[in-house]
Amino acid sequence: MPADSHTLIFVYGTLKRGFCRASFLADQQFLSNALTVPHYTLFDCGDYPALVKDTIDGSRIQGELWRVDVQGLEILDQVEGVSEQLYARESIELESPVVSATVQAYFYLRDVSRLPRLGVCWTRQT
Residue 29 and residue 25: Cα distance in Å, rounded?
8
Closest CA to 111 of 52, 60, 37, 56: 52
Strand partners, 63: 34
Whether 80 is a known active-site residue: answer yes
Closest CA to 34 of 109, 106, 92: 92
Closest CA to 114 of 39, 43, 41, 14: 43
Of 64, 74, 80, 84, the active-site residue reads 80
What amino acid positions are annotated as catalytic residues?
A: 80
